[in-house]
């Protein structure tokens, strides 16, 4: 997992929720088609005695007139007791409908990439 799309998606997530509450990140393989790149991540967030599961997605124009255009979405797709992580992830993956299993990424690495991409 590297690239502008992932770091911008991590920034968008950090604007929506405290990064310190995210205790798990799983990324799916990016897809490229017709000058665009699509990426999807699943995030686990601790919220008191609940665990919330989100999908975070982006589309990035990598070619053409709109090159650099970026859009992202973050959607809560499930919640449950803190100990229900395995079941929540399975449910989230079914909703995403991707054949490739996601790759776990330490949250601190995922958000660090976003911080490194920030202009100083």
Under the banding of pLDDT at 50, 70 and 90, the label for residue 120 is very low
Q: CA neighbours within 13 Å on the CB side: how many for 10?
A: 28
In whole angstroms, how large is the CA radius of gyration of the chain? 14
List 42's β-bridge partners, or say none: 26, 55
Select from 17, 27, 4, 21 the least CA-distant residue to 96.
Answer: 27
Task: Read off the pTM.
Answer: 0.80
The per-residue pLDDT for 60 is 95
Question: Greater confidence, 60 or 118?
Answer: 60
For strand 70-81 and strand 22-27, is the pairing parallel, antiparallel, or unpaired?
A: unpaired
Q: What's the CA angle centered on 39, arms 15 and 41, to 5 degrees?
A: 60
């Amino acid at each position: 997992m590297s690239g502008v799309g992932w770091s911008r998606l991590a920034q968008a997530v950090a604007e929506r929720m405290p990064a310190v509450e995210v205790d798990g990140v799983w990324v799916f393989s990016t897809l490229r088609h017709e000058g665009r790149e699509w990426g999807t991540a699943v995030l686990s967030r601790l919220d008191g005695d609940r665990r919330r599961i989100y999908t975070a997605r982006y589309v990035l124009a990598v070619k053409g007139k709109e090159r650099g255009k970026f859009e992202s979405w973050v959607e809560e797709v499930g919640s449950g007791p803190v100990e229900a992580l395995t079941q929540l992830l399975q449910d989230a993956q079914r909703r995403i409908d991707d054949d490739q299993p996601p790759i776990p990424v330490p949250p601190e690495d995922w958000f660090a990439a976003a911080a490194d991409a920030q202009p100083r």
